């Protein structure tokens, strides 16, 4: 029996060697990979993964099932990366300085995996809940000295990426939208239009700036990340040469920056739903490589707090972001204690009310109080340098194993599709 298995294995290895040898162009191309889906939960680290697993009752999340390793995230010039440098590393295989959008300090544009996919005649798409010209989608699809040049980044997307779904209406003029339509895009601006869309090029801008936080979103008007991902897959999949799709859960990071644990959990939940769709697609289509990795940690959230009990279930009762609650209090003149009771089911004591009233950052202080009730504390309002979990599924995914560098993600994609990345002068 054992010998039988062995000889089958030897035959399979021989067959694979023959298949690899037969695949002419690009010695390293993986002929099994037709489609690549990269999903970035922005700001997501192992602490978010653990808290989320506990938030959904302790069972494995969809992400847990496909964990392959951890990625180092530092940028060229800082131990703590920003989103632009991290996404540039994941997209180009090169470390760049913080703030740069797939460009070296001396102005050299670095080829991205999305551009490599275009060279390979694949269809391309980007689905985000930030503006489409934000750091992560920007670094996968365009080039700029700085992430703040959002108008320049926005202009590079039209005509280049086939499916664009996210926020950022304010960054495009009526002329831009006309140009997009002349180039064959169907322009969309609400959920119904998205769900009904039946066209091979989509340009969907569902909010002026970033889309509404998942915890505050009106599900009837703005599409979810899952709905946008499903539509992108539906539109891109028929391309005979395959596709490259980037999906970003952009606002996990936003929640981390204001230490809003409930908002973070809701964003991860929305991201996980999109992951389920992508994973289902990859399972049904064996020629799809799915890679998921955060770009950095945001906030340094803890799992538990020695001074209080860990009651993450409380976060299910929070029905609004801290920002929305502060808005009801400060702008709409409602009573702070009543607002927090109504939207978070948290009874603030006098000390907590005073702490919020005297804070120079109302939103973060309120969020920290609610997080603390759930047993979560935060160490910063900024990013940290801890490694982030990497998840992968499909042909070639075994190349991402153990502790990798964020640049390895681009390298594995380039190798799989069969194109060369450029290396920056003097940059590893």
Distance CA 428, CA 399 (A): 20
150 scored as a contact of Zn ion (CB under 5 A): no
Distance CA 124, CA 284 (A): 20
The piece of 150-158, 248-256, 325-333, 368-376 that touches Zn ion (CB under 5 A) is 248-256
Backbone angles phi, psi at 191, to 5 degrees: -65, -45
Q: Are 42 and 346 in contact (CB under 8 A)?
A: no
The correct pick among 83, 124, 229, 230 for binding Zn ion (CB under 5 A) is: 83
Lay out the site mask for Zn ion across 311-350 (x = CB under 5 A, - = otherwise): ----------------------------------------
Near Zn ion in 156-175, by CB under 5 A: none
Cβ nearer to Zn ion, comparing 348 with 388: 388
Name the minimum Å distance from CB 228 to Zn ion.
Answer: 19
Cβ nearer to Zn ion, comparing 233 with 291: 291
Q: Which one of 45, 61, 75, 83 is the catalytic residue?
A: 83
The piece of 24-32, 34-42, 178-186, 283-291 that touches Zn ion (CB under 5 A) is 34-42
Cβ nearer to Zn ion, comparing 26 with 385: 385
Cβ nearer to Zn ion, comparing 137 with 418: 137
Name the minimum Å distance from CB 252 to Zn ion.
Answer: 9
Q: Are 229 and 335 in contact (CB under 8 A)?
A: no
Identify how many contiguous H helices and E strands the chain contains and give both numbers: 16, 12
What tokens appear for 317 in the block? 């009762």
Name the minimum Å distance from CB 276 to Zn ion.
Answer: 22
387 scored as a contact of Zn ion (CB under 5 A): no
**Which residue in the shown chain puts its C-beta closest to Zn ion?**
83
Name the minimum Å distance from CB 86 to Zn ion.
Answer: 6
Name the minimum Å distance from CB 296 to Zn ion.
Answer: 5
Name the minimum Å distance from CB 83 to Zn ion.
Answer: 3
Lay out the site mask for Zn ion across 264-303 (x = CB under 5 A, - = otherwise): -------------------------------x--------
Instruction: Please count the residues of this chain forming the interface with Zn ion, following the rule CB under 5 A.
Output: 4
Cβ nearer to Zn ion, comparing 42 with 267: 42
Q: Are 249 and 40 in contact (CB under 8 A)?
A: yes
Q: Could you tell me which residues come within 8 angstroms of residue 298 by beta carbon, excluding any fewer than 6 positions away?
A: 42, 43, 45, 252, 253, 256, 257, 382, 383, 384
Q: How far is CA 219 from CA 6, 211, 241, in A?
A: 54, 12, 34
Lay out the site mask for Zn ion across 39-58 (x = CB under 5 A, - = otherwise): ---x----------------
Name the minimum Å distance from CB 189 to Zn ion.
Answer: 26
Cβ nearer to Zn ion, comparing 77 with 422: 77
Q: Are 229 and 274 in contact (CB under 8 A)?
A: yes
Task: Please list the residues that pair with 165 across neighbouring strands.
Answer: 127, 204
Produce one character per residue of 283-313: b if its CB has 16 or more CB atoms within 10 Å, e if not.
Answer: eeeeebbbbbbbbbbbbbbbbbeeeeeeebe
The correct pick among 253, 297, 363, 408 for binding Zn ion (CB under 5 A) is: 253
The residue behind tokens 């450029």 is 422
What tokens appear for 322 in the block? 């801290």
Quote the strand ranges of 227-340, DSSP E: 243-249, 288-293, 297-298
Annotated catalytic, 173? Answer: no
- Cβ neighbour number for residue 319 with a 10 Å cutoff: 15
Backbone angles phi, psi at 298, to 5 degrees: -125, 125
Name the minimum Å distance from CB 211 to Zn ion.
Answer: 16
Cβ nearer to Zn ion, comparing 61 with 83: 83
Cβ nearer to Zn ion, comparing 83 with 416: 83
Q: Are 51 and 376 in contact (CB under 8 A)?
A: yes
129 scored as a contact of Zn ion (CB under 5 A): no
Q: Which residues are catalytic?
A: 83
Interface residue list for Zn ion (CB under 5 A): 42, 83, 253, 295
């Amino acid at each position: 029996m054992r010998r039988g298995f062995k000889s089958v294995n030897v035959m399979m290895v021989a067959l694979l060697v023959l298949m690899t040898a037969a695949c002419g162009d690009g010695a390293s191309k993986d002929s099994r990979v037709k489609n690549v889906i990269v999903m970035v939960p922005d700001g997501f680290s192992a602490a978010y993964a653990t808290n989320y697993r506990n938030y959904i009752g302790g069972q494995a999340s969809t992400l847990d099932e496909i964990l392959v390793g951890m990625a180092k995230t530092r940028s060229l010039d800082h131990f703590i990366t920003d989103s632009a440098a991290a996404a540039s590393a994941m997209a180009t295989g090169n470390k760049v300085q913080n703030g740069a959008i797939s460009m070296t300090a001396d102005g050299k544009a670095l080829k991205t995996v999305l551009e490599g996919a275009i060279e390979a005649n694949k269809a391309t798409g980007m689905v985000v809940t930030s503006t489409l010209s934000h750091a992560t989608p920007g670094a996968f699809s365009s080039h700029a000295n700085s992430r703040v040049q959002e108008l320049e980044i926005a202009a590079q997307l039209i005509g280049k990426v086939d499916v664009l779904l996210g926020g950022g209406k304010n960054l495009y003029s009526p002329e831009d939208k006309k140009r997009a339509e002349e180039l064959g895009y169907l322009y969309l601006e609400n959920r119904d239009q998205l769900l009904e869309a039946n066209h091979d090029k989509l340009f969907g801008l569902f909010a002026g700036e970033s889309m509404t936080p998942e915890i505050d979103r009106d599900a009837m008007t703005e599409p979810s990340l899952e709905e946008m991902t499903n539509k992108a897959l539906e539109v891109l999949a028929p391309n005979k040469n395959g596709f490259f799709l980037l999906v970003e859960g952009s606002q996990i990071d936003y929640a981390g920056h204001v230490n809003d644990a409930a908002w973070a959990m809701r964003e991860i939940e929305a991201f996980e739903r999109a992951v389920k769709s992508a994973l289902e697609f990859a399972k049904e289509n064996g020629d799809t490589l799915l890679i998921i990795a955060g770009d950095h940690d945001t906030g340094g959230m803890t799992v538990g707090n020695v001074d209080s009990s860990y009651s993450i279930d409380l976060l299910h009762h929070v029905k609004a972001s801290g920002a929305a609650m502060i808005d009801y209090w400060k702008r709409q003149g409602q009573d702070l204690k009543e607002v927090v009771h109504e939207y978070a089911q948290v009874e603030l004591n006098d000390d907590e009310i005073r702490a919020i009233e005297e804070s120079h950052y109302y939103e973060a202080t309120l969020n920290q109080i609610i997080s603390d009730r759930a047993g979560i504390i935060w160490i910063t309002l900024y990013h940290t340098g801890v490694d982030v979990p990497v998840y992968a599924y499909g042909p070639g995914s075994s190349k991402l194993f153990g502790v990798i560098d964020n640049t390895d993600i681009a390298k594995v994609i380039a190798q799989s599709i069969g194109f060369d990345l450029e290396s920056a002068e003097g940059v590893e």
